[in-house]
A and B are shown apart, each in its own frame.
Chain A
């Protein structure tokens, strides 16, 4: 079970800046976020 599966909200950080902030569900289903920041 991944972090975004239990979370309501997700905040993705890269080098100190927010690159994505949305409901965890939306982030999980966003191909660009998945590829760039979630590693699969």
Chain B
């Protein structure tokens, strides 16, 4: 299974947000999409997960077109989007947030197993199950967002700015988590990262 993007073009009204973009991400690999604010990173990821329509070009996963499909259908087929920053529902508890993928997944046994795995992977979430997601730190929220995505059993994980607004040490922790997920679970991943001028550790 490979993600293949060819000549993808996306407009925001009269403005061209993504122009003739092509790249490939083979199974089990992790791709970083890097650019300044306004480069089109979020637009690109939102289009790959069905949240935005494309203008021209193609994007396929496992040989099937993924453009202009419904996000929920793509999620069911294993393409799972983690939107930037505050993608968890602040008013719901950690436990309720983690339960969201279980609403549409039919295999409840596997949902329970995946939830246990996520809590083992992020013990801090296990300690905060009854707390509202809004009370979590930025790093914990990102762990919750990633954990919730994992309960959907993704094959292709699209992470928009997983490092947004996090302290450098926490960014490192989140990056290591993403790297180990892709390696251990044989996922394919794409994540975006804003370039940071003059920030030597940001490569």
Do A and B bind? yes
In chain A, what residue has the closest Cβ to B17? Answer: A16
In chain A, what residue has the closest Cβ to B163? Answer: A3
Inter-chain CA distance A13–B22, complex, in Å, is 11
Contacts of A5 in B (CB 8 A): 175, 203
Cβ of A10 and Cβ of B34 under 8 Å apart? yes
Contact with A along B1-44 (1 / 0, CB 8 A): 00000000010000011111111110001111111101111011
Contacts of A16 in B (CB 8 A): 10, 16-19, 21, 39-40, 43
B: number of interface residues (CB 8 Å): 43
Q: Which of B16, B23, B200 contacts A11 (CB 8 A)?
A: B23
**B199 adjacent to chain A (CB < 8 Å):** yes
Cβ of A40 and Cβ of B200 under 8 Å apart? yes
Inter-chain CA distance A11–B38, complex, in Å, is 15
> Beyond A10-B32, A11-B34, A16-B19, is A4–B203 a contact (Cβ under 8 Å)?
yes
Contact residues of A: prevailing secondary structure: mixed
Cβ of A9 and Cβ of B29 under 8 Å apart? yes
Cβ of A40 and Cβ of B198 under 8 Å apart? yes
Inter-chain CA distance A7–B29, complex, in Å, is 8
Q: Which of A1, A6, A13, A34 contacts B33 (CB 8 A)?
A: A13
Inter-chain CA distance A13–B163, complex, in Å, is 18
A25 CB, min distance to chain B CBs, angstroms: 11
> Beyond A13-B44, A17-B19, A39-B198, is A7–B203 a contact (Cβ under 8 Å)?
no
Cβ of A10 and Cβ of B31 under 8 Å apart? yes
B196 CB, min distance to chain A CBs, angstroms: 6
Can you report 20 A-B residue pairs in the complex whose CB atoms are below 8 A from each other? A1-B175, A1-B176, A2-B201, A4-B203, A6-B178, A7-B32, A8-B30, A8-B31, A9-B24, A13-B18, A13-B33, A13-B35, A13-B39, A15-B40, A16-B19, A16-B21, A16-B43, A24-B32, A28-B203, A39-B202
Tell me the B residues contacting A by CB distance below 8 Å.
10, 16-25, 29-36, 38-41, 43-44, 163, 171-172, 175-176, 178-179, 191, 193, 195-203
> Which 10 A-B pairs rank lowest in CB-CB distance, beginning with the nearest?
A2-B203, A13-B35, A7-B32, A3-B193, A39-B197, A13-B39, A8-B29, A9-B31, A3-B32, A6-B179
